[in-house]
Amino acid sequence: KRVVVLISGGGSNMLALADACAADDFPAEIVGVISDRKGAGGLAKAEARGIPTFAFERKDYGSKAEHESAVLEALALLNPDLICLAGYMRLLSSDFIRPYEGRILNIHPSLLPLFPGLHTHQRAIEAGMKVAGCTVHFVTEGMDEGPIIAQAAVPILKDDTSDSLAARVLIVEHATYRLALEKIAGPPNLFYAPAVQASDFVI
Ligand code: GRF
């Protein structure tokens, strides 16, 4: 399966997917990385792996629609089977999603449906949660609410800050996104990707 990854920042999730796709038996290949910021650190990492990159700086476009058209043109060239949003900090319009309905994945750093939106780790800590985690889901027109594909949980420790919790969640994000992409890109099967547990990872 041909995969295009959309990023806005460091692209650690994109890298995790690129590393997974490097395995011969992994059912996906990353055919392009698109960013809405020219300075996104993930672009250089993708280029270092020989992955074609495209950057469409939002401020270079007069409107959201014009910006999305530029991204959609690059997608038409790359002709992906799947699109993976990985740290892409922009909401997609219905017009963007429609042609790719059911083929766009996103990773969100909380156990949805808890804590959609931003500052998820701070909110989990303030809510007194004992666990946090991440969710890979299909993207629908609403924000962070599409069908869930895979999730992972990690403990929240008593002296956690949002930074220390974010670092712990990021580790399981990479494993969970790999799992989710393998499940969706792979042959249809009834196997349900198990929610990976914190115990699966040395923290
Ligand atoms: C991650 O926490 C991801 O869940 C969120 O953006 C953060 C940075 O992702 N969407 P990355 O390192 O750019 O992949």
Q: Over the range 120-158, which residues count as b (16 or more CB within 10 Å of their CB) and which as e? A: bbebbbeeebeebbbbbbbbbeeebebebbbbbbbbbee
Q: What is the pLDDT of residue 97?
A: 96
Q: Is the CB of 80 under 6 A from ligand 1?
A: no
CA 125 to chain CA centroid, nearest Å = 22
Whether 78 and 4 have beta carbons less than 8 Å apart is answered as yes
Write down the ipTM of this complex.
Answer: 0.91
Q: What is the pLDDT of residue 43?
A: 98
15 Rama class: left (phi>0) / alpha (psi -120 to 50) / beta: alpha
Torsion angle of C-alpha atoms 64, 68, 70, 72, degrees rounded to 10:
-170
Phi and psi torsions of 77, nearest 5°:
-70, -40
Q: What is the pLDDT of residue 187?
A: 80
Ligand 1 pocket: which of 173, 177, 178, 181 to mutate (most atoms within 8 A of CB): 173
Q: What residues form the annotated binding site?
A: 11-13, 64, 89-92, 106
Q: What is the pLDDT of residue 203?
A: 42
For CA atoms 87, 93, 95, 99, give the dihedral sign.
positive
Q: Residue 106 contacts by C-beta under 8 Å, 6 or more apart in sequence? A: 84, 85, 88, 136, 137, 138, 139, 144, 146
Instruction: Please tell me whether the peptide bond between 99 and the residue prior to it is cis, using omega within 30 degrees of 0.
Output: no
Q: What is the pLDDT of residue 182?
A: 93
> What are the average pLDDT values for consecutive 10-residue runs of the chain, which has 203 residues?
97 97 94 97 97 97 97 98 97 95 96 97 98 96 91 96 97 96 82 50 44
Say how many CA atoms lie within 13 Å of 106 toward its Cβ: 28
Residue type, 132: A
Ligand 1 pocket: which of 107, 151, 168 to mutate (most atoms within 8 A of CB): 107
Query: 10 Å Cβ neighbour count for 70?
Result: 17
- Ligand 1 atom nearest residue 106's Cα: 10
- Ligand 1 atom nearest residue 7's Cα: 13
- Ligand 1 atom nearest residue 15's Cα: 14
Q: What residues form the annotated binding site for (6R)-10-formyltetrahydrofolate?
A: 64, 89-92, 106
Phi and psi torsions of 175, nearest 5°:
-70, -40
Q: Give the Å distance between the CA of 173 and the centre of ligand 1.
A: 8
